Amino acid sequence: MQRVSRLQLLLCPFAEFPARSLVPTVVTFSALTSACDRGSHLGHGLRLLAEARRRDLKPDAVMLSSLIRACARGEQWEHGLHLMADALRREVQVDTVTYNATISACETGSRWQEALGLLDDMRSSALRPTVVTYGSLISTVEKGMQWESSRWEDAWCLMADMLDCKIQPSMIAFSALVTACDKGEQWARALSVLGGMEAHALKPDLVFCNAAISACQKAGQWTCGLALLDGLGGRNLQPDSITFNALIGAAERGREWQAASALLVEMRSQGLRPGVVSYNSTMQALARKGRMDLALNLLDEMTSAAIHLDTQSYRLLITECELSEALSREVDLFNTLEDISHDMHALGDRALGAASANVAAMRLLSAGCAAEAAALLAGPPRARPSAVGSGLLPVGSAEAAGSASAARLRSEGCLASLKKK
């Protein structure tokens, strides 16, 4: 037996109106359109709108709101904006719900300019914005920040305006605001949003806290990030991989290689598996402080854990090895870069593979191993790098090859001591 939807049951009596000499009203069309909205039947709703206009019926605010919401849900936000513009042009009486639905459509399309314009229209029409209005507005501005990071100020002003209007902010508004602060690299404001949220008796979730930690990461404020990590337990939250990746990134930006290494260890101790992002940030922190020996140890760990290096991993190692002036593990470095050269050719990045071969050759020449360097550059399966612009220059003097092997970083108890700084 074919299943009959609720919408079909509602439309069946409507089809019988002519036979019974009944005339549908605006209320009839509004009720049916609301059913289309709840059932995500945008096509049916638009046909009802066309039928209402054919009967010279002017759609009311309920009908328009339902249609615009359905447009936003169906990823047809532009159609929703056109419906609102057409309604205003026809002088249809719209209300706050209609404006909220249209702002929600702007949010779907990240059209923050139109959303702010609608707020001005509401005020000029003597309509009072609600908590839903402001939540959608702040979220729309936040989503539009992928093109303009300075828009965090608009989100901040909207929150201030909401508080001035004595409107209790929602979780949606606070979450969108802290994300806007994160994208705008406003770490101090992100922390104040966290405090303001708790002052309004709202409990932040892990996504919210991660956004605040991410803002600290972008500013290199790793100590503030650690404080937020400490506060998760009091909020009955458990850190995840996103939390630790942001914290390790913050330590890397702050050039705190010990903190980054300790956080990597702490991440494992909490049952989380570090990924390529975790290792890349930690290796970057180590390399910046000249600890390429420890960075190469992490490279070995990645290989043992079957974590595939990405292009950033390769570029990091090649760049830092090239900049290193005193490295005691020439042989280990050569083997690592030789593997990188092979792997990058296998991945199709021949330019990067050639660059790694050049760096390895320079190290061999520096150690007086000219024959091995020539074999590296000429031997298959690696493509021979071009002599022009390759960066391979004659080395005037040879450096002695060291034989010291670096011990792995022991971080037991290290994170606790770092938190006391």
DSSP class per residue in 77-99: HHHHHHHHHHHHHTT----HHHH
Say what the pLDDT of residue 180 is: 93
Alpha-carbon span 208 to 204, nearest angstrom: 6
Among the listed residues 389, 306, 379, the one whose alpha carbon sits nearest the alpha carbon of residue 338:
379
Among the listed residues 206, 202, 193, the one whose alpha carbon sits nearest the alpha carbon of residue 236:
206
Number of alpha carbons in the 13 Å side-chain half-sphere of residue 10: 18
Say what the pLDDT of residue 345 is: 60
Say what the pLDDT of residue 219 is: 87
The H or E element spanning position 117 is: helix 112-124
Distance from CA of residue 417 to its chain's centroid? 31
Residue 255, SS3?
A: coil
Per-residue pLDDT of the chain (421 residues; tens, 9 = 90+): 333 344 444 444 455 445 454 556 777 777 777 766 654 566 777 777 777 777 777 878 888 888 888 888 777 888 889 889 988 888 888 999 999 999 999 998 888 999 999 999 999 999 999 999 999 999 999 988 876 677 899 999 999 999 999 999 999 999 999 999 999 989 999 999 999 998 998 999 999 999 999 999 988 888 899 999 999 988 999 999 999 999 999 999 888 999 999 999 999 999 999 999 999 999 989 888 888 778 878 888 888 888 877 767 777 766 666 555 544 444 455 555 556 666 656 655 565 566 666 666 666 666 666 776 676 666 544 443 332 233 322 223 222 222 222 222 233 344 444 444 4
Q: Using omega within 30 degrees of 0 as the cis cutoff, is the peptide bond preceding 381 cis?
A: yes
For the whole prediction, is pTM greater than 0.75?
Answer: no
Say what the pLDDT of residue 69 is: 85
Structure tokens at 263: 């956080």
* CA-based torsion, 264, 269, 274, 277: positive or negative: negative
Residues 6+ apart with CB under 8 A from 174: 193, 196, 197, 200, 202, 204, 208
Structure tokens at 336: 């690592």
